[in-house]
Amino acid sequence: MFYDFLKYITFTFLIKPFIYLVFGVNVSGADNLPKINKGASIIVANHNSHFDTLILMCLFSGSQILKIHPVAAADYFCNTAIKKFIFTKLLGIIPLSRKVKKATEEELFKDINEPLRKGQTIIIYPEGTRGTDNTLSKFKSGVAHIARMNPDIPVVPCYINGPDRILPKGSFLWVPFIADVYISEPVYYDNTSTKDFTARIQSAVEKLKDEHKRREEL
Amino acid sequence: MEQFVFTHNVKIALVILYSFIFLLLAIVKIAQWTTKKDLDNIWIRIKSFLLICVFFTAAFCFNKIVAFLFLMLISYLCLKEFLSLIPTRKTDRKVLLWAYWSIPVSYYIVYIHWATLFYLFIPLYMFILISVRMVMSSNTEGFLKNLAVIQYGLMTTVYALGYLGMTAIIPMQYNPKGGAIGLLFYILILTVSNDFIQMFCGKALGKHKIIPKVSPNKTWEGFIGGVIGTTILSVVMAYFLTPFTLLQSIFAGAVLAVFGFFGDVTMSAIKRDMGVKDTSSLIPGHGGILDRLDSLLFTAPLFFHYFAYINTIVFTRG
């Protein structure tokens, strides 16, 4: 409860004013944004910058923010006590170990399935890591496995343009730019194969990317 | 803390402005009820305009520092929109940060009334500094193009808009009727109403397109209507808010109308070149802040120098 309050305060008075005033966000397809309070959803997006997560989270108003949890690599975000506090408590990330261990499927996905079944929303980047030069690398199949285990939860593909200019991988300097976020209609797991489903969400994100390109070449 | 002087005439002008906006809002609401037409778009536009007016008035009511921070914020938002619009090189990230830092420096120079340095800071010193920083990143591919684009961004969003600050520090003695606020009010309202009259005349009478390749909505009828309407408004406002004679106010109105138009279509041409419709979605119903201030980019510096030509203004620091 206390940490929820802290997360709410951090976002409302610190992160949101910062993101909207210093950077700025143009949203396209805002109607497709999932209604966080009505149930769980899985938000997938391309990943180029740490700011991707903050920009996506800032799209949601008020207390919705408390129900959003980005999935992030434990070895990167939780390697020191301070980082662990900031990222798990203030931003509410779900730390995920990148080391493969032998376990049953249910055990492997426990940390993600539990919040999803409690009605929480997760943000996940199927590329697995940040890309460079705004390229879209091949999606990994993790999201499809999560969707298969939770077939009634919508998967919302998003494309983010801009954060790669604000803070690209490997840089520490923040340069102000306006980010564009494109949100596509939700897709559901359709009992085909995880491979097909992964390809489906990848093509949805690529379609959004083309939409952005078309707008640039108008 | 130094504050701006709101003369009696300026206060009345503000009351008239706000009454006019509320009247417009009322008319739109009534029209929406009676004709059942969808006028939400116009409603949002007027509401956004009202909000902009409130922000402006509030910033200048407070004190000089708040007003200058507000102008800096506007320049910052404009420069950010401009730089987001254009493709930039990865190696230029530090150059862009230097460009952003020129905003506080430029406005500080205006704040301490150092007019001559302001005239030179962006066109000369930033011109040199941006080149120096860009050479240091040692990427020659697209060098000149990127250099020119960044300099253009600075000239429009920091230098040209900086003239709002310059207008705000014009000493009271040169304009006893309205003071600096009266001049700011005069130029802002004339520029905005010029856009409005041009759009209105263009929609009502427009047939002959001026530059269809750049801006298909701009017509000769709208343009001429804008010039006439703005000149009339200029004469009326100049009588209460400025020291201009009749002839001077006619000239000022015509110049603002013509160059307001050119500022507008120049930004349209840039947007068309970059393949976007609006610079951002910051102001509901209007697009980006740069879309709204595009006419001001040319009118603000021109008006200031016209006023300085008529009055031979002497600033404390020269």
Domain boundaries, chain B: 65-169
pLDDT tens digits, residue range B47-96? 888 999 999 999 999 989 999 999 999 999 999 999 998 888 888 999 99
Residues 6+ apart with CB under 8 A from B67: B4, B59, B60, B168
* Cα-Cα-Cα-Cα dihedral sign, residues A100, A103, A106, A107: negative
**pLDDT tier, B133 (very low <50, low <70, confident <90, very high otherwise):** very high
Q: Please answer yes or no on whether B84 and A168 come within 8 Å at the CB atom.
A: no
- Within 10 angstroms of residue B193's Cβ, the number of other Cβ atoms is 21
Q: Are A34 and A154 a contacting pair, CB within 8 Å?
A: yes
Nearest to A175 among B81, B97, B274 (CB): B97
pLDDT surpasses 60 at A32: yes
Q: By the 8 A CB rule, do B168 and B67 touch?
A: yes
* Chain A nearest CA to B289, separation (Å): 12
DSSP-derived pairing of the beta strands A179-183 and A155-161: antiparallel
Q: What secondary structure letter does DSSP report for B56?
A: H
Residue A106's pLDDT is: 78
pLDDT confidence of A217, banded at 50, 70, 90? low
Span B206-227, pLDDT tens digits: 888 988 888 888 899 999 999 9
In Å, how far is A93's CA from the nearest CA of chain B? 29
- Inter-chain residue contact B274 with A216, CB threshold 8 Å: yes
pTM above 0.90, yes or no: yes
Average pLDDT, integer, range B220-242: 94
Calculate ∠ Cα B54-B58-B63, nearest 5°: 160
Kindly tell me the burial class for residue B202, based on how many C-beta atoms sit within 10 Å of its own C-beta (0-12, 13-18, 19 or more).
Answer: buried
pLDDT at res. B44: 87
Q: Collect all residues of chain B within an 8 Å Cβ-Cβ radius of residue A168.
A: 90
Phi, psi of A176 (to 5 degrees): -65, 130
Nearest to B280 among A24, A175, A216 (CB): A24
Q: Do A26 and B280 touch (CB under 8 A)?
A: yes
Average pLDDT along chain B: 91
| pLDDT reported for residue A79 | 86
d(CA B193, CA B257): 9
- Structure confidence by residue, pLDDT tens digits, A133-192: 788 889 988 889 999 988 889 999 999 998 999 999 888 899 999 999 999 999 998 878
Report the C-alpha gap between A59 and B145 in whole angstroms. Answer: 35
Distance from the Cα of A139 to chain B's closest Cα (Å) equals 25
Q: How confident is the model at residue B36, as a pLDDT? A: 78
CB contact under 8 A, A178 and B274: no
Residue A216 is predicted with a pLDDT of 65
Residue B39: pLDDT above 80?
Answer: no
Question: What is chain A's mean pLDDT, rounded?
Answer: 88
pLDDT at B300: 95
Interchain proximity A26–B281, CB inside 8 Å: yes
This model of the complex carries an ipTM of: 0.88
Say yes or no to pLDDT of B280 above 80: no
- Count how many domains chain A has: 1
Higher pLDDT, A96 or B1: A96
| pLDDT reported for residue A103 | 74
Which whole number is the average pLDDT over B166-192?
93
Give tens-digit pLDDT for B139-151.
899 999 999 999 9
Give the residue on B whose Cα is nearest the Cα of A165: B90
pLDDT tens, residue by residue, A55-66: 999 999 888 888
Quick check: B280 and A178 CB within 8 A? yes
Residue range A102-148, pLDDT digits in tens = 777 777 888 888 889 988 999 999 998 888 878 888 998 888 999 99
> Residue ranges of the alpha helices (H) in chain A?
2-9, 16-17, 51-58, 74-77, 81-84, 105-108, 110-117, 142-149, 163-166, 194-217
Structural domain of A15? 2-217
Residue A218 has pLDDT above 80, yes or no: no
What is the rounded distance in angstroms from the CA atom of residue B315 to the CA atom of residue B132? 31
Cβ separation A216–B275 shorter than 8 A:
yes
Count CA atoms within 13 Å of residue A96 on its CB side.
23
Which of A39-43, A74-78, B150-154, B171-175 bottoms out in mean pLDDT, i.e. has the lowest?
A74-78
B39 compared with B259, residue with greater pLDDT: B259
pLDDT over 80 (residue A34): yes
Q: For residue B318, what pLDDT is reported?
A: 66
Task: Indicate yes or no: CB of A178 within 8 angstroms of CB of B94.
Answer: no
Decide if pLDDT at B26 tops 90. Answer: yes
Q: Give chain B positions within 8 Å (CB) of A215.
A: 275-276
Dist CA B185 CA B13 (whole Å) = 8
Residue in B103, B261, B145 with CA at minimum distance from that of residue B194: B261
Measure CB to CB from residue B80 to each of A173, A178, A218 and give the nearest one.
A178
Determine, for residues B100 and A24 on separate chains, whether the beta-carbon distance falls below 8 Å.
Answer: no
Average pLDDT over residues B289-304: 92
**Nearest residue of B to residue A167, measured between CA atoms:** B93
| Predicted pLDDT of residue B1 | 73
Best probe of the B interface among A49, A177, A181, by most B CBs < 10 A, is A177
Local structure of residue A153 (DSSP, 8 states): S
For the residues of A89-131, what is the DSSP string, one character each? Answer: IIS--EEE--S-----HHHHTHHHHHHHHTT-EEEE-TTSS--
CATH of the domain at A44: 3.40.1130.10
